Amino acid sequence: MSIGSIGDVAVRLEGVRTVLGDGLTALGQVEEQLEDYANTLAALGEGSSSGELQEATALAMSAREDLLQVFRMGSTADESVERFRRSLVGSGSGAAAAAPRAALVRTAAPAPPAPPKDKEVEAAVERAQAGDQAPVYAKPGSAEDRRRYVKIDVNREHKIGALCYVGPRDEDSTEIGTWVTKGSTREDGVPPLYVDRGTKREFPRNAVVPLDKLHEALSEFRSTGRRPRCVSWQESDPA
């Protein structure tokens, strides 16, 4: 690699930052897909032969190891940058050494202001408490897709709820899947939560999440238009 000036280095670094940004987006999508496939394997495991299940599990573990390798490479790069910073600081004195240190030492960024509350989240919870389980869609202007929606049920007395997410199985899929939350098991004596109160279709007993976590998941879905990652999921029959 032929680089003749500090300016050339800066240009190359800007290119690296662009590639890293694209890579982080892709890694996030890969991580979400791996989680989906792992859940699918668990759901289909009982109906597959041992050979099929072992082969699919081996592929999943290989993909996971590839993802971990990328993370390890990032850690190695971080260590290299830190050594570079130390060499710059050690080779200069006074203002000459202070300048690169100020530029390269990692400092904690100020916390971003809290985003305004989404009034539709609380409104959806209120409606569910009253028996209205109309689907909740993403905010207009987000990655809105009418194939993707969430239905909820809540029990304010016990401060619990459950979510049902409907949407494509992955980004390029036309096949629609259904997932419900996977949380703690509903205690004996606590009334069931319903995927559909009209048909009395109940959520699984282990679909219970705390009410504040339901708020968080609903807010995430409203913002991203994607299956929330702040809660765990399990596949379910179509809603």
What residues contact residue 12 under an 8 Å CB cut-off, 6+ apart? 3
Average pLDDT, the chain: 78
Tell me what percent of the residues of the chain surpass a pLDDT of 70: 54
User: Residue 205 — pLDDT band, cuts 50, 70, 90?
Assistant: very high
Q: How many CB atoms lie within 10 A of CB 221?
A: 26
Interatomic CA distance for residues 214 and 121, integer angstroms: 10
Residue percentage of the chain with pLDDT more than 90: 42
Query: Which residue reads 């662009």 in tokens?
Result: 18
Assess contact for 161 and 155: CB atoms under 8 A.
yes
Instruction: Output the CA angle 72-232-43, nearest 5 degrees.
Output: 95
Residue pointed to by tokens 């009253």? 130
Sorting pLDDT into bands at 50, 70 and 90, what band is 152?
very high
User: Residue 28 to residues 23, 33, 74, 229: CA-CA distances in angstroms?
Assistant: 9, 9, 15, 11
Given a contact cutoff of 8 angstroms between Cβ atoms, the answer to whether 190 and 155 are in contact is yes
Q: pLDDT tens digit string along 83-138?
A: 766 665 565 544 444 445 444 445 555 665 655 678 999 999 999 999 999 999 99
Q: Which residue ranges make up each domain of the chain?
A: 6-104, 119-235
The predicted structure's pLDDT at residue 112: 57
pLDDT tens string 30-73? 666 666 666 666 666 555 556 666 676 667 677 777 766 766 66
More confident residue, 26 or 226: 226
- Comparing C-alpha atoms, which of 230, 229, 193 is closest to residue 208? 193
Instruction: Report pTM.
Output: 0.53
Contact 220, 228 (CB under 8 A): yes
Residue 195 has pLDDT above 80, yes or no: yes
3-state secondary structure of 225: coil
